[in-house]
Amino acid sequence: MSALLLARLQFAFTICFHFLFPAMTLGTALIILISETLYLIKKDETYKKITDFLVRLLGLIFVIGAATGIVMEFSFGTNWSGYSRAVGDIFGPILAAEGVIAFFLESVFLGVLLFGRNKVSRGVYWLSALLVFIGGHLSAFWIVVANSWMQTPAGYTINEAGKIILGNFSDAVFNPSTIVRYVHTIIASWVTSAVMLAGIAGYYVRKGLHGETAKTMLKVGIILFALTPLLQLGAGHAHAVKVINLQPEKAAAMEGHFNTINGAPIYALGYVDVENQKTYGIYIPKGLSFLYNFDWNSEIKGLNDYPKKDWPPVNFVFQVYHIMVGAGMAMIALGLLGAYLLWRGKLYENKFYLFILPFLIPLPHIAHETGWIAAEVGRQPWIIYKLMRTSNAASVVVSAGEITLSLIMFFIIYTLLAAMFIKIFLKIVQKGPAA
Amino acid sequence: MDYIQNYQTLWFFLILILLAGYSLLDGFDLGIGALLPFLGKTKEEKDVLINSISPVWDGNEVWLITGGGALFAAFPHAYATAFSGFYLAMMLVLFALIFRAVSMEFRAYDDVRAGIWEKAFVAGSALAALLFGVALGNVVYGVPLDNKMEFTGNFFTLLRPVPLIFGITGFTAVLLQGATYAVMKTEGDLQQRAFRAVNILTAVNFVTALVYFGTIVFTFDDIFTNWMFYLAVLFTLLWLSAIFFSVRHKNDSAPFWESSFSFIGLWLVVAAVHFPNLIKASNDPMLNITIYNSSTSMQTLKLMSIIALVGMPIVIAYTIFVYRIFKGKSKSSVHY
């Protein structure tokens, strides 16, 4: 395998693994903030127990997220030094801002959340929960800005020497895809933690553990599980429209469209035969055009409008994108079902639904991972869309052998981390909120 | 005086401050990690030591993340050359940092393998502490570079004697940070042991610092006229000497500050002999990566200056606030 492909595999592996953890962190920080706010207002010890329980989980999640996150920051220098040399002017300050403005805040106040319950007043503890929530969400903002700038670069100029120079930083930060991508990413994280909470609480309630605390957790979890996937439906829709407008090749690959037509279909699932330019599957005629701007006959660009050397791997992008959509739709249905059961007062008795809940915990992870893979692979062959090719971005001095070695090491170490994470996660869940 | 050179100079020193800040703060928790089996004899004592750093280590590590981001933003070529050139060494740093981070958490929950996680914590802390100095030694002493600013050596280039001396100097300084922090945060037998460790490590630091200064005198040109260098040497040695007096008076907090200042002295030495270089080329001084040939544009440096000069004071203020919450002696059990 070439050094370039190995470097891409290593980035893909390390980023996919890393993102599992921040995805849980943000939503968990939100639920902690909700729970601690309720504790502050209602002075009900139940909420304190829930906060403390979730803080234990957050500590575990955060440490693995931080340990694997530093790998990502280093990777631009270690594996993508060609990219780093080219984009220091814009990408550099975005990463530095993430540290100064966001990650310090989250990390420093997480210490108070984890170890300060008996050392600070309720007010300061609540404030720490708020600052961890804000810090985490700001951190995600800057990272999403960095990614969005690679998808839809803005706020730059090219100087006489052909170098990318900072033009307007605000335009770079609020480039055309930042906001919609940020909202989509944040809600994905909220969904992830909502399902996690509902899954854990569902298990407790079914087993008759932790009494009212478990029921309160389940109630909060189900309400969030019903609301957040619905919010995501809107955010995902807005994002898809943006992709059609801003990165039409990617959108065409996601839906397997080769020819520009008025009234493009949308697939529920299928298969793209790139060689013969045919897409098979179950589809709604003219569905994509309708969703694009609510006109059944609007025009959707096809891949053939673009040179073949600028196409992403079409069937792969199609498949991962459809897994995301499918997982999202399933979550909407299951969340609404839970809300219905809660409304009818049958939630705590419905053994079947409670039995299923814990098994749903991986579902949002599948959705956000495949969604990101669709976004990133869909951008290929560009590392910065229409500005720099991935093939020009890798470190020239790092050999295939060196990357093979590091990739094997990452694989071994991350497998160990995953095993330990699951083991300790289950241990904390076994102990539960009463402990 | 709106010249780009001013901003390049400013950023040389701001990155130095970020890295020095990292070395002082993560220095003490890496030091605690490396010294854990020597200071803590029982599980309770080890718990006390780990509890003294667990609320703050993650915030400390952000200094490294921010320093890395700042280097990327101000001098991307230096960032790109060093990180890609020192590839395998950087991977070792990452693996070491991963293990020292997660093993604290794993040790607390995985009773069966607590011993293994403790060893991973000690080894990860020690290895990271050693490698940072080796990396710094290489960029200060010089590595072979080509005319595209790419590193042309290999893994063993990094292990030459002079960079290793930098590594050992940094490593012993980190151990002293850890030991003096332990003196500040512990009581009883554990503290007595930490006091003895501080005494020994201060003596060791004298030796390593003198070897470090001597190496620089013998290997760097123009050192005899560099008065900044001699001031920095004096500064380091004075603060190191002060530790002996504080230990004799059983002062439990002064040694930490004295150790920190002597560590700053080591950084001042680097500034004195290295400015305005970022990565020296050992094969040809014309190929040196300097603040002038590797920086981003003036717009970016200006923007970064605003972010840093507004943001970092706020960061430092709330960091102090949180350290004050956890001030006082560490206990073996915490509400967790």
Nearest to A318 by CA among A349, A283, A342, A345: A283
CA dist A109 and A131 (Å) reads 7
Band (pLDDT 50/70/90 cuts) for residue A434 is confident
Q: The domain containing residue B146 runs over which residues?
A: 4-178+274-325
pLDDT tens, residue by residue, B139-164: 999 999 999 999 999 999 999 999 99
- How far is residue B150 from each of residues A77, A195, A236, measured CA to CA in Å? 12, 48, 43
Alpha-helix residue ranges (DSSP H) falling in A152-282: 169-173, 178-207, 211-246, 248-255
B55: closest CA of chain A, how far (Å): 4
Tally of domains within chain B: 1
Within a domain: B254? no
**Residues of chain B found within 8 Å of residue A78, distances taken between Cβ atoms:** 83-84, 87, 90-91
Whether B300 sits inside 8 A of A97 (CB atoms) is no
Is the Cβ pair A165, B299 closer than 8 Å? yes
Please tell me the distance from the alpha carbon of residue A171 to that of residue B272, in angstroms, as a whole number: 39
Are the beta carbons of A397 and B84 separated by less than 8 Å?
A: yes
What is the arithmetic mean of pLDDT over B238-247? 96
Residue A348 at interface with chain B, using a CB cutoff of 8 Å = no
Q: Select from A78, A99, A402 the Cβ nearest to the Cβ of B62.
A: A99
For B253, other C-beta atoms within 10 Å of its C-beta total: 14
| Interface contact B293, partner A, CB < 8 A | no
CB A196 within 8 A of CB A28: yes
Indicate whether A409 pLDDT > 80: yes
Instruction: Select the residue from B300, B320, B329 to test the A interface by mutation, using most A Cβ atoms within 10 A.
Output: B300
What's the CA gap between B304 and B306, in Å, rounded? 5
CB B187: neighbour CB atoms within 10 A?
A: 13
Q: Kindly compute the dihedral angle of the four CA atoms of residues A72, A77, A81, A83, in this order, to the nearest 10 degrees.
A: 50
Q: How far is CA B89 from CA A308, B67, B213, in A?
A: 40, 18, 25
| Distance to chain B for A341, nearest Cα, Å | 35
Q: Quick one: average pLDDT of B55-74?
A: 94
Give the one of B79, B97, B325 whose C-beta lies nearest to A120's C-beta: B325
Q: Please, which pLDDT band fits residue B334 given cuts at 50, 70 and 90?
A: low
Which residues touch A209 (CB under 8 Å, ≥6 apart)?
Answer: A203, A432
Are A417 and B98 a contacting pair at CB < 8 A? yes
Rounded to the nearest angstrom, the minimum Cα separation between A434 and chain B is 13
- Per-residue pLDDT averaged across A36-63, rounded? 94
CA-to-CA distance for A32 and A38, rounded, in angstroms? 10
Q: Are B291 and B75 in contact (CB under 8 A)?
A: yes
Question: Which of A54, A60, A81, A415 is the best substitution to test chain B (most B C-beta atoms within 10 A)?
Answer: A81
Closest CB to B76: pick one of A88, A99, A117: A88
Domain ranges of chain A: 178-398
pTM of the predicted structure, to 2 decimals:
0.95
Q: Reply yes or no: is the peptide bond before residue B276 cis, omega within 30 of 0.
A: yes
Which of 73-132 (B) contact A at CB < 8 A? 73-77, 79-85, 87-88, 90-91, 93-95, 97-99, 101-102, 104-106, 109-110
Interchain CB contact of B312 with A (< 8 Å): yes
pLDDT of residue B335: 45
Domain presence at residue B336: no
- Residue B336: per-residue pLDDT: 43
Interchain proximity A64–B102, CB inside 8 Å: yes
> Per-residue pLDDT for B114 more than 80?
yes
Give the model's confidence band at B195: pLDDT under 50 very low, under 70 low, under 90 confident, else very high: very high
* Domain contains B330: no
User: What is the pLDDT at residue B318?
Assistant: 94
Average the pLDDT over B183-190 and give the result: 94
Can you list the pairs that A357-362 forms with residues at least 24 positions away whose Cβ atoms lie under 8 Å?
Answer: A357/A198, A357/A199, A357/A201, A357/A202, A357/A203, A358/A199, A358/A200, A358/A202, A358/A203, A359/A199, A360/A195, A360/A198, A360/A199, A360/A331, A360/A334, A361/A195, A361/A196, A361/A199
Test mutation, A52, A84, A142, chain B, max B CBs within 10 A? A84
| B80:A92 CB<8 A | no
Least confident of A405-419, B13-27, B216-230, B299-313: B216-230
In A, minimum Cα distance to B78 occurs at A85
- The answer to whether A182 touches A152, Cβ cutoff 8 Å, is no
For residue A78, what is the nearest residue in chain B, using CA coordinates? B84
Most confident of A288-292, A420-424, B222-226: A420-424
Q: Which amino acid is at B83?
A: F
User: Measured between CB atoms, does B315 come within 8 Å of chain A?
Assistant: yes
Could you tell me what percent of chain A has a pLDDT over 90?
93
d(CA B67, CA B49): 27
A398/B101 Cβ within 8 A:
no
Radius of gyration of chain B, Cα coordinates, nearest whole angstrom = 20
Question: For the range B18-22, what are the long-range contacts, defined as Cβ-Cβ under 8 Å and sequence gap of 24 or more?
Answer: B18/B63, B18/B66, B18/B67, B18/B70, B19/B63, B19/B64, B19/B67, B19/B267, B20/B263, B20/B264, B20/B267, B21/B63, B21/B67, B22/B60, B22/B61, B22/B63, B22/B64, B22/B67
pLDDT digits (tens, 9 = 90+) for A164-197: 999 999 999 999 999 999 999 999 999 999 999 9
Let me know if residue B302 belongs to a domain: yes
A394 close to A75: Cβ distance less than 8 angstroms? no
pLDDT of the residue at B1: 58
- Please report, for residues B20, B177, B194, the alpha-carbon distance to residue B201 in angstroms, rounded to integers and kept in the order given: 20, 10, 10
Taking only the tens place, the pLDDT of each residue in B78-109 is 999 999 999 999 999 999 999 999 999 999 99
Residue to test with chain A: of B63, B90, B92, B94, most A Cβ within 10 A? B94
So what's the pLDDT on residue A324? 97
Domain for residue B74, yes or no? Answer: yes
Task: Kindly provide the b/e burial profile for residues A1-25, where b requires at least 16 CB atoms within 10 angstroms of the residue's own CB.
Answer: eebbebbbebbeebbbbbbbbbbbb
